[in-house]
A = this chain, B = another copy of it.
Amino acid sequence: MTPVAKRKMERRKTFNDYIARKQLKSTKQRDTIFNEFFNNYMGKHVTVEELYEDIKQNHPSIGFATVYRTLKLFKESGIASERNFGDGKARYEPIRSETEHHHHMICTECGQIVEFANMQIESCLHQVAKLNEFGVANYKLEIYGKCSKCSEG
């Protein structure tokens, strides 16, 4: 099994557990959205609109609201993270692992998004939180600026 497939399976289990714990139901629509999301958007940052348009191609009966609700569910269950890069639209990203955190550099010219991770920042951050007796649930670091291409001109 490829690492990607394994990752997907792990998320699936987490999601199923969440469904069971909260006494929700597993449905065909949720399956469809799960597959589309984890097959095609790993490492991407998709808006609800985009995912909906994409899914509509092969599953025209799935409704807009369902995609909204399901992505929210993904977030709540911890298998996706919600991002907001300042254009007013929420973006969703499949998470890679329960522990890995990464951050984003957003080019304000072309919209390109570069991901990065940095251990030192992580540890500083937890240190600061500890100092303030603050229980960290989540965090996000975003750098806005110009990417190398857009800086040239």
Contact = CB atoms under 8 A, between A and B. Distances in A.
Interface residues of A, number: 32
Nearest to A123: B120
Interface string A118-137: 10110011001100111111
Given A114-B132, A133-B148, 18 more contacts: A108-B137, A118-B124, A121-B124, A121-B125, A125-B143, A129-B143, A129-B145, A133-B147, A133-B151, A134-B143, A134-B148, A135-B145, A135-B147, A136-B143, A138-B145, A139-B143, A140-B142, A141-B142
Interface of A: 84, 86, 105, 107-108, 114, 116, 118, 120-121, 124-125, 128-129, 132-148, 151
